[in-house]
Structure 1
Amino acid sequence: MNLQPQLIIDASYFAAAFLFIYGLKRMSSPVTARSGIVVAGVGMLVATLASFLYVFGVNEAAQPHLTTNIILAATALGVGTLWAWWSGKRVAMTAMPQMVALYNGMGGGAAAAIAAVELLRTSATHTTIPLIVTIVGALIGSVSLSGSLIAWAKLDGKINGTWRVKGQQVINGALFLLTLGLGLFIVFAEHGHASPQVVAVFFGLALIFGVLMTMPIGGADMPVVISLYNAFTGLAVGFEGYVLQNPALMIAGMVVGSAGTLLTLLMAKAMNRSVSNVIFSNFGATGDESQGEIKGTMKAAEAGDAAVNMRYASKVIFAPGYGLAVAQAQHKLFEFVKLLTDAGVEVKFAIHPVAGRMPGHMNVLLAEAGVPYDMIYDLEDINEEFKEADVAVVIGANDTVNPAARTNKSSPIYGMPILNVDQARQVYVIKRGQGKGYSGVENELFFADNTSMVYGDAQKVMVAMIQAVKQLEGGH
């Protein structure tokens, strides 16, 4: 390869790596997160465009394929860009978790495709270490692809419930060992020059394993699953970057892999469970038979009465959940919050780490509605304030506010950190019905003496609350 194009490529990859890391750093704060995403996106654009510079240094033997490769690469880039722009613009905020799962699966699939090309290149000279890395990247990328697609289908309602058979873990373990064994056969017996049929069987088994590993996992664990597959995709990309000796892919893969791993551990900790427990347990398979009898009764309240109570409160804390996203009520919620703050009420938002269906889902939802960042607090920063609150309002949340996790040792969610909404003087739960959360566990909060249920779609309830406060102010 000519020196000048190679120098530009190396400089571009260095710049892309810096932009990846700097962008990730800015994503750590809600104030700078948007610009951090733009910075990291610019880094990816630089790395992508730099790859086209390889055409200026190809040898003469590769010239016959040069035009075809450029056309294919440019076409793929154009189609992918247009489709991503179109789908990103039209996707609803409620469907953002599904979109993240889908895009994450595409990243894993891309890494697996790179591995497939390397394994099927008969002209390549394969050595043991790069071959092992290729196989590992292929396995992880394939699992991430099929597993993320199942996660997407579950989140989008195309697959309901879980699929479990007797001896599921044994079947999954045997399939994994078989896939790994075939990968080792390709490395040591075939020295990387396996037949296309053998390579196809390897990838087929890996894809099936991803499906079987994800199908038994309940909906309550989807935030952890999405984060885990995100880490898988990063690792796969990093491994294939090593095989291709591409610094941008290696650094991007390591950054995504490490960030995804840390986030996965954080999500699991927020549910008081280990990652292995999420993947291999049957959590959520049954109802709450072991929870014991719940004392008390559910008490209904009108939206207008609850709104008036909040209008004359000193401090109100909102705890949003996925029901807020389903109802697309974030804008009406903030409109109501502004009425309260104008009346001198102190208002804060409490966010549980696994609220919604993906990490940070509620933060993004509230930011879209224009809620100031200084009104939004994480669990550990606000939990002690609930005992000082006159009113706590739960909107579409369930398991993340269930006191059984703190007090009932017989409950399946015992030990899971929760928002202490039950410690407020008055609790209002805005909910469409009396259904249970993703875990299938009855919520003891709903039966507490200081809790009232405001039944209805969250957006319609917020509209009623806004009207009640406005009529009250007009009456004055």
Structure 2
Amino acid sequence: MDTTLIIEAAYFVAALLFIYGLKRMASPVTARSGILVAGWGMVLAVAVAFLYGLDVNEKAQPHVWVNLTLVVIALGIGVGWAWYSGKKVAMTDMPQMVALYNGMGGGAAAAIAAIELFSGNAQSHGIVVTILAVLGGLIGAVALSGSLIAWAKLDGRINKTVRLPGQQAINAALFFLALATGAAITTAGLAGEVSITLVAVFFVISLVLGVMLTNPIGGADMPVVISLYNAFTGLAVAFEGFVLQNPAMIIAGTVVGSAGTLLTLMMAKAMNRPVSNVIFSQFGETDDGGDSEIEGSMKAAEASDAAIAMYYANKVIIVPGYGLAVAQAQHKLYEFVKLLQKQGVDVRFAIHPVAGRMPGHMNVLLAEAGVPYDIIFDLEDINEDFAQADVAIVLGANDVVNPAARTKKSSPIYGMPILNVDMAQTAYVVKRGQGKGYSGVENELFYADNTSMVYGDAQKVMAQMIEAVKSLG
């Protein structure tokens, strides 16, 4: 059989697997199988790449076997590292891992662009392919360095948010300088004069741009950043797919880019921030006048009192946040929920789109504990139910339940849709201390008349609640 036909058929099947896998990821029930389907599509695409290399390059490049051996070694290292880190990573570190792996995808696209531009292969295919190689290299390099900064912020390796005077002017200058350098590469390459120095300068500028774009952004806004760079990576991969004339890369990159773009729009909407502010680092900045004196005081409550109140309630809504993930208390929480359900309590979970440190963080956390999907609701589906809830309990969330977002125009989170925890008859907040949230904004919910604070690590608090409920039986 013709090798070319086999390659094209395999890429077509891989593309179908990518799309079908993404479709199944739309539902929590089928998401796991969707990931496996898309993964097998990637395995097929990688395997066919070896066949493509043998078919096209064996005669033209005598050292093809050496190159393929190096590829196998690289794959072995990559698979081994990914398998080990994937098994070892804690749920609290999942956002860092996602940011890091996303950066690797952007870096791979940038590396392809660098090779194609260095060698002159891209230029030999004409101006359109050359432009796509340059754009893919720019976007991939920005995604790489930007994702690394996001990883360092999420991992606590960078704790300061530095905003230089004229930050946006500097970013704009770097962006236009990168475009100008890319245009010079395109022009010189088409004339048959590939300048290695010029290509190197282009990628250095692109990497610096990624750092400068991400460094001013506060850690609380990292979910949007991760989503944005995911879209960047997909776009870069799609562009480089055109350069290599690889259908699988084009389709996979387009799917990732479009999905990442839609997710970014949803995340920005959930934070009430224009996408332009996301791109130009307007968000994550705080207003010094945002924290004024809040009336009332925090009232402490025992974990046992909160547990008993929920045990005798009709309807309870639980709001999980990053503190739940830090404490690794999701299993204890679900054990407590099952005790409430056995008593006949209607228990539901309310998920804010930007809860946690990455898109879908809380959904993954609850799925790991085995919480049924049919009691997990998004903000728009459950927000009206808080007014009918006897008890709402918040575990480690902050900004997404702050009523200041509705009323205080001076607050940096003003206008952001929040979960209406303050409208429940009684609210409990499980929190390790009296500090502010990740964004640094004081939470008015903590001072409300119907709110009590349960101080302590969520793991220990949930264990105390379980014991209190069991003692009633």
Letter in 2 for 1:91: V
- Give the direction of change, closer, same or farther, for the CA distance of 1:466–1:55 in structure 2 (3 Å limit): same
Aligned residue number for residue 96 of structure 1: 94
Alignment counterpart, residue 120 of structure 1, candidates 92, 101, 118? 118
Aligned residue number for residue 176 of structure 2: 177
Aligned residue number for residue 12 of structure 2: 14
- Give the direction of change, closer, same or farther, for the CA distance of 1:398–1:274 in structure 2 (3 Å limit): same
Q: Deviations over 1:216-262 (max 9, x none)?
A: 00112100000000000000000000011100000000000000000
CA separation in 2, counterparts of 1:62 and 1:56? Answer: 10
CA separation in 1, counterparts of 2:435 and 2:257? Answer: 37
- Aligned-pair distance for 1:111? 0.3
Q: Deviations over 1:38-94 (max 9, x none)?
A: 000000001000111124423664241211111011111111111111110010011
Deviates further, 274-283 or 13-22: 274-283
- TM-score when scaled to structure 2? 0.97
- Give the direction of change, closer, same or farther, for the CA distance of 1:196–1:381 in structure 2 (3 Å limit): same
Alignment counterpart, residue 72 of structure 2, candidates 67, 74, 91? 74
Deviates further, 245-254 or 428-437: 428-437
- Aligned-pair distance for 1:175? 1.2
- Aligned-pair distance for 1:179? 1.2
Letter in 1 for 2:352: H
- Aligned-pair distance for 1:174? 0.8
- Aligned-pair distance for 1:281? 4.4
- 2:85 aligned with 1:87, yes or no? yes
Aligned residue number for residue 433 of structure 1: 433
Aligned residue number for residue 304 of structure 1: 304
Which residues in structure 2 correspond to 1:241-320 (within 5 Å)?
Answer: 241-286=241-286, 289-320=289-320
CA separation in 1, counterparts of 2:177 and 2:328? Answer: 46
* Identity over aligned pairs, percent: 72
Deviates further, 107-116 or 405-414: 405-414
- 2:339 aligned with 1:339, yes or no? yes
Letter in 2 for 1:153: A
Aligned residue number for residue 373 of structure 1: 373
Letter in 2 for 1:188: T
- Aligned-pair distance for 1:324? 0.5
Which residues in structure 2 correspond to 1:380-395 (within 5 Å)?
Answer: 380-395=380-395
CA separation in 1, counterparts of 2:273 and 2:53? Answer: 50
Letter in 2 for 1:74: V
**Any idea what SS the aligned residue of 1:348 has?**
strand
Deviates further, 60-69 or 367-376: 60-69
CA separation in 1, counterparts of 2:45 and 2:455? Answer: 51
Deviates further, 233-242 or 306-315: 306-315
- Give the direction of change, closer, same or farther, for the CA distance of 1:72–1:193 in structure 2 (3 Å limit): farther
**Any idea what SS the aligned residue of 2:411 has?**
coil
Aligned residue number for residue 138 of structure 1: 137
Letter in 1 for 2:435: G
Letter in 2 for 1:183: G
- Give the direction of change, closer, same or farther, for the CA distance of 1:60–1:372 in structure 2 (3 Å limit): closer
Aligned residue number for residue 212 of structure 1: 212
Q: Deviations over 1:386-428 (max 9, x none)?
A: 0110000000000000011112222221111010011100000
CA separation in 1, counterparts of 2:184 and 2:250? Answer: 26
**Any idea what SS the aligned residue of 1:132 has?**
helix
CA separation in 1, counterparts of 2:58 and 2:427? Answer: 74
CA separation in 1, counterparts of 2:120 and 2:277? Answer: 42
For structure 2, the 5+ residue unaligned runs are none
- 2:162 aligned with 1:167, yes or no? no
**Any idea what SS the aligned residue of 2:60 has?**
helix
Deviates further, 104-113 or 67-76: 67-76
Q: Is the 8 A contact 2:188 2:195 kept in 1?
A: no
Aligned residue number for residue 453 of structure 1: 453
Alignment counterpart, residue 25 of structure 2, candidates 27, 45, 48? 27
**Any idea what SS the aligned residue of 1:461 has?**
helix
CA separation in 2, counterparts of 1:386 and 1:59? Answer: 64
Deviates further, 108-117 or 54-63: 54-63
Letter in 1 for 2:361: H
Q: Is the 8 A contact 2:405 2:413 kept in 1?
A: yes
- TM-score when scaled to structure 1? 0.96
CA separation in 1, counterparts of 2:147 and 2:202? Answer: 19
CA separation in 2, counterparts of 1:415 and 1:217? Answer: 19
Give the total of aligned pairs.
Answer: 471
- Give the direction of change, closer, same or farther, for the CA distance of 1:239–1:80 in structure 2 (3 Å limit): same
CA separation in 2, counterparts of 1:286 and 1:23? Answer: 40
**Any idea what SS the aligned residue of 1:48 has?**
helix
Aligned residue number for residue 105 of structure 2: 107
Aligned residue number for residue 194 of structure 2: 194
Deviates further, 126-135 or 7-16: 126-135
Letter in 2 for 1:69: N
Deviates further, 21-30 or 73-82: 73-82
Letter in 2 for 1:88: G
Q: RMSD across aligned C-alpha pairs, in angstroms?
A: 1.4
- Aligned-pair distance for 1:201? 1.1
Q: Is the 8 A contact 1:217 1:279 kept in 2?
A: no
Letter in 2 for 1:96: M
Q: Deviations over 1:193-230 (max 9, x none)?
A: 42222211111110011001000001121000000000
- 2:55 aligned with 1:62, yes or no? no
For structure 1, the 5+ residue unaligned runs are none
**Any idea what SS the aligned residue of 1:429 has?**
strand
- 2:147 aligned with 1:148, yes or no? yes
